[in-house]
Chains A and B, each alone.
Chain A
């Protein structure tokens, strides 16, 4: 009888190329996603050392971080961005890596396009030079972000030396109230664990709330895993996973599909397997969340007041909270729903998928964006955009006064011209409320697509449960 294992250990063990005392495991990588910002120095490294890309057939490139979301038939307004996109094109051509370039309908945020085409599948190891690679864990894959040196390592060897992870169980039981979304679940989890509670761990998310989320909802939860410090988080595959994958371009077909599903069903944590750390939340206790500070753990329920630094548990947390309030220009004790906003951003690898756009469109239908607010929607991929247009969502957004843009990372990190001006306050469906993340001096509040849409209409934050009523 073998030791009971977690799904994390099972997938890990299936990918160990070499194990040697005193060294990290050498792990095989099934899929390497590459984008324009963290890869140029890696390709240059290959060139300097005369190395090739070992498995271009397990590699896919796209451009997302630094692309304009405005009319792409016009010249790129930023010469440095244009250069980076051009370098990406040349690198992919020279090394034989498939690239979904800026004019390709399949272009989009790396973490949107992998799942969308069925490239992300259960039991895989997936890496990308981007910390939100954890998104792909929604399919029951070990997926994590890496730096540029590691990108070069994977390009050259299709492997990575990795220390055996600690495991963490995050269980969300029960069910969610109306108006509470996957985004609120992930913000509640991070509020519970803190921004470093997951450091050194890979998380398995489970429990009825997780089970009942759609694949897109699970992606939202896994996406923000890194904001709690863990590099990877996953959900064991089930019928929801298989239903999503079936028929997608890169998913197994015909008889191979049946064999694959059989293999995938074995990817579950065994009874009696233990984790190194446990966190449990009740779904019923989760309210729609909003961040008030400058870390993703600094969140409250929408009907709460901005907390006082005096209530912080440690001197360091108090100091951080004080800094956050100054940066965010907020007073402790203010009801967060009273806070007026200037901008709304709907998009990103966290909430830029079709279900997110449907939810936001449903919220604003028949309403107008407040005069004081500038609002934009940036679909996560060319295909998400196309789908939304087929469903008429673009018309709903445009009629309400939203800008409707081309696909990319956009104002999630503001590498392109989509940025906040100093002092502007934004309701954002993205993943990071760090100082200056969306533009120097900009103030970011992370919320669900529904809450962002409702805030656009009201001109301030609102409790989506009351907005719906």
Chain B
């Protein structure tokens, strides 16, 4: 995973609630077996509208996305995070996020920052009025700021912060505790099912 420390730049004001992952990356692009190359398909159907915010040249290349509550709800597809990442988004700021999307983001290195509604509304209207207006996010300090006069703190799980700041591979961290996993397995309830019998071939159709 890539490390993230600071994000600075302008923001897409995607002023919509309940943006689901089907909108972020529609199903027809989930047939690919790679992790990359999804950026051009992000918001594929909404982009067909010339007025859609992503199509506005003033916002081209913005590293931040602003959205309303429950961003990333719905399907577990991590492709949604890969698509945002691939189109150059480094952070999304919203009043709330879908749980699975937020988890996925923390594994990829996309910041998901929750701010109160009034703060999101402030940033949203500012970005709508002045597309070039910059937002600065400092993960270490857990702050979002606009110039010198407006700064807000955000919450983040300390372990996720540590991993993001250092770009740490989650699996590597877990495997440092492999002895604990083995110990748990040796005590584990023997009544739990195992899938080995599923290897046997069954009646074929047709």
A residues sitting closer than 8 Å to B (CB atoms) are 17-18, 22-24, 26, 28, 30-31, 37-38, 40-41, 44, 49, 51, 54, 56-60, 65-66, 72-73, 78, 80-81, 83-84, 87, 98, 100, 103-106, 117-119, 121, 124, 129-131, 145-150, 152-153, 156-159, 161, 163, 195-196, 199-200, 226-227, 229-231, 249-252, 256, 259-260, 263, 295, 316-317, 319-320, 323, 382, 413-415, 432, 434-437, 440
Question: In chain B, residues 168-206, which have Cβ atoms closer than 8 Å to a Cβ of chain A?
Answer: 170-171, 173-175, 177-178, 180-181, 184-185, 188-189, 191-199, 201-206
Contacts of B157 in A (CB 8 A): 24, 163
Q: Which of A106, A157, A196, A200 contacts B181 (CB 8 A)?
A: A157
Residue of A nearest to B33 (CB): A40
Contacts of B174 in A (CB 8 A): 26, 153, 156-157, 159, 161
Given A163-B157, A195-B70, decide whether A436 and B191 contact each other with a Cβ distance below 8 A. no
Q: How far is the CA of A59 from the CA of B158 in the complex (A)?
A: 31
B residues sitting closer than 8 Å to A (CB atoms) are 15-18, 20, 22-23, 26-28, 30-35, 45, 68-70, 73-79, 81, 96-100, 103-104, 107-108, 157-159, 170-171, 173-175, 177-178, 180-181, 184-185, 188-189, 191-199, 201-206
Q: Which of A31, A58, A196 contacts B18 (CB 8 A)?
A: A196
Q: Count A/B pairs, Cβ under 8 Å.
A: 221
Contacts of B16 in A (CB 8 A): 319-320, 323
| Interface contact A105-B205, CB-CB below 8 Å | yes
Q: Which of A103, A199, A316, A320 contacts B99 (CB 8 A)?
A: A199
Given A38-B78, A66-B30, 10 additional A-B pairs, CB 8 A: A26-B181, A100-B198, A105-B205, A158-B185, A196-B98, A200-B99, A229-B73, A415-B31, A432-B22, A440-B45
Q: How far is the CA of A81 from the CA of B30 in the complex (A)?
A: 10
Contacts of A317 in B (CB 8 A): 17
Q: How far is the CA of A432 from the CA of B17 in the complex (A)?
A: 16
| Interface contact B180-A121, CB-CB below 8 Å | no
Chain A nearest CB from B127 CB (Å) reads 17
Residue of A nearest to B31 (CB): A80
| Interface contact B175-A156, CB-CB below 8 Å | yes
Chain A nearest CB from B115 CB (Å) reads 15
| Interface contact B76-A440, CB-CB below 8 Å | no
| Interface contact B104-A149, CB-CB below 8 Å | yes
Q: How far is the CA of A59 from the CA of B194 in the complex (A)?
A: 8
Q: How far is the CA of A65 from the CA of B16 in the complex (A)?
A: 28
Given A17-B177, A58-B194, decide whether A153 and B78 contact each other with a Cβ distance below 8 A. no
Given A104-B205, A119-B193, A147-B107, decide whether A131 and B34 contact each other with a Cβ distance below 8 A. no
Q: Which of A17, A23, A58, A260 contacts B195 (CB 8 A)?
A: A58
Q: Which of B194, B195, B199 has the most CB of A within 10 A?
A: B195
A-B CB contact pairs (8 Å), 21 listed: A26-B180, A28-B185, A31-B193, A31-B195, A38-B76, A41-B78, A84-B33, A105-B205, A121-B193, A130-B75, A130-B76, A147-B100, A156-B171, A157-B175, A157-B181, A161-B173, A250-B195, A295-B20, A382-B205, A413-B27, A432-B75
| Interface contact A146-B195, CB-CB below 8 Å | no
Q: How far is the CA of A227 from the CA of B202 in the complex (A)?
A: 35
Residue of A nearest to B194 (CB): A57
| Interface contact A147-B104, CB-CB below 8 Å | yes
| Interface contact B197-A250, CB-CB below 8 Å | yes
Residue of B nearest to A385 (CB): B205
Given A98-B196, A199-B70, decide whether A231 and B100 contact each other with a Cβ distance below 8 A. yes
| Interface contact B180-A17, CB-CB below 8 Å | yes
Contacts of A38 in B (CB 8 A): 30, 76-78
Contacts of B189 in A (CB 8 A): 263
| Interface contact A100-B206, CB-CB below 8 Å | no
| Interface contact A83-B33, CB-CB below 8 Å | yes
User: What are the 8 A-B residue pairs with the smallest beta carbon separation, nearest first?
Assistant: A149-B107, A147-B104, A147-B78, A98-B198, A40-B33, A80-B31, A196-B70, A145-B76
Q: How far is the CA of A402 from the CA of B129 in the complex (A)?
A: 53
Contacts of B78 in A (CB 8 A): 38, 41, 147-149
Q: How far is the CA of A435 from the CA of B201 in the complex (A)?
A: 40
Chain A nearest CB from B53 CB (Å) reads 14
Given A105-B204, A316-B69, A320-B17, decide whether A146 and B76 contact each other with a Cβ distance below 8 A. yes
| Interface contact B22-A434, CB-CB below 8 Å | yes
Contacts of B184 in A (CB 8 A): 17, 28
Q: How far is the CA of A22 from the CA of B158 in the complex (A)?
A: 6
Chain A nearest CB from B75 CB (Å) reads 5
